[in-house]
């Protein structure tokens, strides 16, 4: 009970609950067969996993590969992930640096358990992905959120970070490319954060799930900075990059000693990820890596399409995201509360967007729109949004 109440308070109290309730209602309407519904409030692809990957899982099951696996993954998969990381991130690593985990959220949770102690203090950011808070305080740590201001393109201010430091600060959690804002933090920002981590002997937990979905601004991994390899735990996922959201598979890259700690944590949670899922992931890396680039190209097109479609919508401002599959809409000029706006938009126009308060107080006045939909759907969503504001704004 105390943990739950502190979690709700930290995430904005009832406003955070109300924000996610809009999406829950959209899902309910979808299940009941509601016609003409456009759901842009969830971060999932509108297409299925590549058939090559699916076939590999089916063949693995048929071959009887459904028994226990090593806690941190099959060795061949760890080898392929190490090669993928070396190629895509630009940091040569080996299997001793890789642990397979059941999804990136589990990666953040495991990183917190492996690096924190009760009473430690963690710095994170507002907005942030909603599950971070619970994952980090599970170890008995406390958490302070540093603002990512819209006027600063949702990038951190080092003075704000320094102001949040305490004697008991043990770690910082960063997320670039960012969910929900789509901001990519530049190298100089990461280097400033790295300097602070070295000065204060801090762990850095780095969520890099959207690293393969960057557009003009390239992703930069903090592990590439001198002195950061032994103190950085980078978290990745097959979900977005390979369209494997429901497969629940990801990995962490860290120093060998940290990977051993992750292995101990994983042994207390589960006996490894399913072998057929891991073998499907091997096929993804071996035979379907083109999926990664195809997804990036598709979402860059969709980003540009939806930004063009919404450019003329009155009283709505938008910032073209650097990465990912989300667009933040600033509706403050409408004078409407974002939660009221989202509920009325769902009721009147059958369009579901997620109020920014679901990710933190800094996104009050903003709505998150997922452009994980077809061109026609995005165009229609733009028309409905424009009609809604003309009627209500």
Q: Using pLDDT thresholds of 50, 70 and 90, give the confidence band for residue 20.
A: confident
> Do the domain assignments include residue 42?
no
Same domain, 213 and 345: no
Same domain, 226 and 365: no
Output the pLDDT for position 15.
Answer: 64
- Structure confidence by residue, pLDDT tens digits, 122-140: 999 999 988 889 898 998 9
The answer, yes or no, to whether residue 8 has pLDDT greater than 70, is no
Q: Domain count of the chain?
A: 2
Mean pLDDT across 81-105: 97
Kind plus residue range of the DSSP H or E element containing 220: none
CB 357 within 8 A of CB 292: no
Output the pLDDT for position 35.
Answer: 84
Output the pLDDT for position 174.
Answer: 98
For 203, the 3-state DSSP assignment is strand
Kind plus residue range of the DSSP H or E element containing 367: strand 366-370
**269 or 212: which leads in pLDDT:** 212
Same domain, 328 and 359: yes
Residue 251 phi, psi dihedral angles, 5° rounding: -155, 160
Same domain, 283 and 322: no
The answer, yes or no, to whether residue 115 has pLDDT greater than 60, is yes
Which pTM value belongs to this model? 0.93
The answer, yes or no, to whether residue 9 has pLDDT greater than 90, is no
Same domain, 363 and 274: no
For 108, the 3-state DSSP assignment is helix
The C-alpha atoms of residue 206 and residue 251 are separated, in whole angstroms, by: 12
The answer, yes or no, to whether residue 185 has pLDDT greater than 50, is yes
- Structure confidence by residue, pLDDT tens digits, 303-340: 999 999 898 889 999 999 999 999 999 999 999 999 99
Residue 126 maps to which CATH number? 3.40.640.10
The answer, yes or no, to whether residue 7 has pLDDT greater than 60, is no
| Domain encompassing residue 31 | 2-35+291-392
Q: Out of 27-31, 45-49, 155-159, 343-347, which region has the weakest mean confidence (pLDDT)?
A: 27-31
Q: What is the overall mean pLDDT for the chain?
A: 93
Same domain, 96 and 137: yes
The token pair at 332 is 């403050």
The C-alpha atoms of residue 10 and residue 143 are separated, in whole angstroms, by: 9
Same domain, 82 and 7: no
Mean pLDDT across 253-258: 98
Same domain, 319 and 364: yes
Same domain, 277 and 301: no
Residue 352 maps to which CATH number? 3.90.1150.10
The answer, yes or no, to whether residue 372 has pLDDT greater than 90, is yes
The answer, yes or no, to whether residue 73 has pLDDT greater than 60, is yes
Q: Using the 3D structure, point to which of 258, 287, 316 is the last residue of a domain.
A: 287
Q: Using the 3D structure, point to which of 260, 287, 314 is the last residue of a domain.
A: 287
Mean pLDDT across 184-201: 98
Same domain, 347 and 269: no
Q: Using pLDDT thresholds of 50, 70 and 90, give the confidence band for residue 6.
A: very low
Q: Using pLDDT thresholds of 50, 70 and 90, give the confidence band for residue 14.
A: low
> Do the domain assignments include residue 188?
yes
Kind plus residue range of the DSSP H or E element containing 171: strand 169-175
> Do the domain assignments include residue 201?
yes
């Amino acid at each position: 009970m105390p943990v739950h109440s502190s979690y709700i308070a930290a995430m904005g109290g009832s406003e955070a609950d109300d924000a996610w309730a809009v999406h829950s209602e959209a899902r309910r309407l979808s299940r009941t067969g509601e016609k003409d519904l456009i759901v842009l409030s969830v971060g999932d692809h509108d297409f299925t996993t590549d058939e090559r990957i699916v076939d590999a899982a089916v063949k693995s099951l048929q071959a009887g590969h459904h028994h226990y696996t090593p806690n941190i993954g099959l060795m061949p998969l760890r080898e392929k992930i190490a090669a993928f990381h070396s190629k895509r991130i630009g940091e040569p690593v080996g299997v001793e640096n890789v642990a397979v985990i059941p999804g990136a959220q589990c990666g953040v949770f495991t990183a917190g358990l492996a690096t924190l102690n009760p009473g430690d203090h963690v710095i994170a950011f507002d907005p942030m992905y909603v599950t971070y808070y619970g994952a980090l305080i599970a170890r008995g740590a406390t958490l302070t959120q540093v603002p990512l201001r819209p006027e600063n393109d949702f990038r951190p201010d080092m003075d704000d970070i320094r102001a949040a430091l305490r004697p008991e600060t043990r770690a910082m959690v960063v997320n670039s490319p960012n969910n929900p804002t789509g901001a990519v933090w530049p190298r100089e920002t990461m280097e400033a954060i790295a300097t602070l981590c070295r000065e204060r002997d801090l762990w850095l937990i780095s969520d890099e799930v959207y690293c393969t979905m960057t557009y003009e601004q390239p992703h930069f991994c903090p592990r590439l900075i001198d002195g950061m390899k032994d103190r950085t735990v980078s978290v990745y996922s097959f979900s977005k990059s390979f369209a494997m959201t429901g497969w629940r598979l990801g990995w962490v890259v860290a120093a060998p000693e940290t990977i051993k700690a992750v292995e101990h944590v994983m042994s207390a949670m589960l006996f490894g990820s399913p072998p057929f899922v891991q073998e499907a992931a091997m096929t993804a890396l071996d035979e379907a890596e083109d999926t990664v680039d195809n997804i990036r190209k598709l979402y860059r097109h969709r980003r540009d399409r939806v930004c063009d479609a919404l450019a003329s919508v009155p009283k709505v401002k938008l910032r073209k995201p650097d990465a990912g599959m989300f667009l933040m809409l600033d509706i403050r000029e409408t004078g409407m509360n974002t939660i009221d706006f989202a509920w009325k938009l769902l009721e009147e126009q059958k369009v579901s967007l997620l109020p920014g308060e679901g990710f933190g107080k800094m996104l009050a006045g903003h709505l998150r729109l997922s452009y994980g939909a077809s061109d026609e759907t995005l165009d229609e969503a733009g028309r409905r949004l424009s009609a809604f504001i003309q009627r209500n704004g």
